[in-house]
Amino acid sequence: MSYNGYGNNYGYNNQGNSYGPPPPGGGWGGPPPPGGPRSNYGPPGGPPPMHTRPGYESNGSSYGNPPPSGNPPHGGHMSSYNPEPYAPSQAYQGGGQGYPPPTGPPPHPEQLHHFGPPSGQLPNAYNNSYNEGNYRAPPPPPTQAQAFGHGATQGYNYQYSNCQGRKRALFIGINYFGSSSALKGCINDVRNLSSFLVERYGFKWEDMVILTDDQSNPRSVPTRQNIINAMQWLVAGAQPNDNLFFHYSGHGGQTEDLDGDEDDGFDEVIYPLDFKQNGHIVDDEIHFRMVMPLPAGCRLTAIFDSCHSGSVLDLPYLYSTNGTLKEPNLAKEAGQGLLSAGMSYLRGDIGGMVSGVSSIFKNVTGSNSSATEISRRTKTSPADVIQLSGCKDNQTSADASEGGQATGAMSWAFREVMMKNSQQSYLSLLQCLREELNGKYQQKPQLSCSHPLDMNLLFII
């Protein structure tokens, strides 16, 4: 199997770069240009691409429904800490010309990792070692609704997914070709992890959207608008027990928190290819686009291989390697205001949803509640959302080399851990990710969830 793209064979011996932005300078981080986004970075016309094979060729399908109406929370403000923008030799054009590919030949097939089918049936919610009588193995997730507890509103529950419904995946890899902050492994990460899901977990190429900056199709380039559209495509029409997967490999950073839900006072962000013109994407907006629309029992597994990514999906339950909440002082969460806001969203009443969330925020801040309490009152979800991130919010993630190939350390570690043992509990998964990177990299992978999580349960994809 070969790829039609470029950019896999550049500098495999790199160990020192990170996915974080370099120090500010040269006027970086100013506000977007007046008058809205520049026209040469606007979304091109025509249908977005989807994929039938890893050559990233389009079959002409659509991303589906338009993005949610209303404005996400302060989603477009700029950081004072940005990587240098991509500087192509030709401007991005909406007529199909696209960014020019990097120089050099496309990768040879032997430079790409292939995983092949598993030697036996991979575990799922019904077929697993625990259900076959091995009660030392991690048990599958429960099928009944789970109460949030800790003073939450009665009747507001969450639901684990059995991941037996529709499978859909979104991959974003940005190497930032031509800039002084270029990365080497991000496109490889996307190719390797997408192949891993297809070859071992039954995902299909036609149910994936892949955005990388080595593609000529303008709808496949990871601009801000294309990323937002693809996020909406991922969650559109989601149902209980659907199995959604998101992977981002690229630059990450931080910016000032404006709504009080961050303990350290900083929101986390990711950097689209055109961030200099159109802005970064802040964690509140990522949550708004990909978590808030999901129904109870729908799984979203999100992997962020970027700097400062520990809480970039804004999930309120962060777990340690001993299986406990890192901040166990739980306040009342998911109150009536949140339930009302959620119902308003499901009815399409965006105004009611915003009003409900705003009232919660006012009540919380008026009572001097902590940022953690604010997060758990406003970002708790009945869906089954799991985030695996490459590092803590205050750490960087390595753009590394493993097996002679440029790769993100976190993306590589996830594949390695799951290939060595597919019967992982959430706890063992987090522990093994840490162990895989320990001694080679300083970063510490993180695991967070949209609801209280039994870390001893079986992790399924």
- Per-residue pLDDT tens over the stretch 374-410: 666 667 789 999 999 999 999 999 999 998 999 999 9
Q: What's the CA gap between 186 and 406, in Å, rounded? A: 8
Biggest distance spanned by C-alpha atoms of the chain: 64
Q: Which among 186, 298, 307, 449 is annotated as catalytic? A: 307
Whether 193 and 414 have beta carbons less than 8 Å apart is answered as yes
Question: Which of 70-74, 97-101, 201-205 holds the top average pLDDT?
Answer: 201-205
Structure tokens at 237: 């029409």
Q: Which residues of 143-172 are buried (b: 16+ CB within 10 A; e: fewer)?
A: eeebebeeebbeebbbbbbbbebebbbbbb
Q: Which among 247, 251, 280, 287 is annotated as catalytic? A: 251
pLDDT of residue 375: 62
- Per-residue pLDDT tens over the stretch 428-456: 999 999 999 999 999 999 999 999 999 99
SS3 158: strand
* Banded model confidence at residue 197, pLDDT cuts 50, 70, 90: very high
Residue 217 carries which side chain, given as an amino acid letter? N
Whether 436 and 144 have beta carbons less than 8 Å apart is answered as no
Per-residue pLDDT at 2 exceeds 90: no
Query: 251 catalytic, yes or no?
Result: yes
Q: What's the CA gap between 420 and 418, in Å, rounded? A: 5
What torsion do the CA atoms of 336, 342, 345, 349 make, to the nearest 10 degrees? -10
Structure tokens at 220: 């496949």
Q: What is the DSSP letter of 129?
A: T
pLDDT of residue 55: 43
pTM above 0.85, yes or no: no
Q: What's the CA gap between 42 and 45, in Å, rounded? A: 9
How many percent of the chain have pLDDT more than 90?
Answer: 49
Per-residue pLDDT at 182 exceeds 80: yes
Q: What's the CA gap between 161 and 112, in Å, rounded? A: 32
- Per-residue pLDDT tens over the stretch 326-365: 864 333 334 434 444 444 444 444 444 444 444 444 444 4
- Can you list the alpha helix ranges (DSSP code H) found in 91-204? 186-201
Q: What is the DSSP string of 247-300?
A: EEES-EEEEE-SSS--TTSEEEEE--TTHHHH--EEHHHHHHHHTTTPPTT-EE
Provide Rg for the chain, Cα atoms: 21
Ramachandran angles phi, psi of 5, nearest 5°: -90, -175
Q: What's the CA gap between 244 and 302, in Å, rounded? A: 8
In the numeric block, the tokens 């036609």 are attached to 206
Per-residue pLDDT at 98 exceeds 50: no
Per-residue pLDDT at 32 exceeds 70: no
pLDDT of residue 327: 63
Q: What's the CA gap between 374 and 361, in Å, rounded? A: 7
Specify the range with the lowest mean pLDDT, choosing from 116-120, 303-307, 398-402.
Answer: 116-120
Per-residue pLDDT at 87 exceeds 50: no
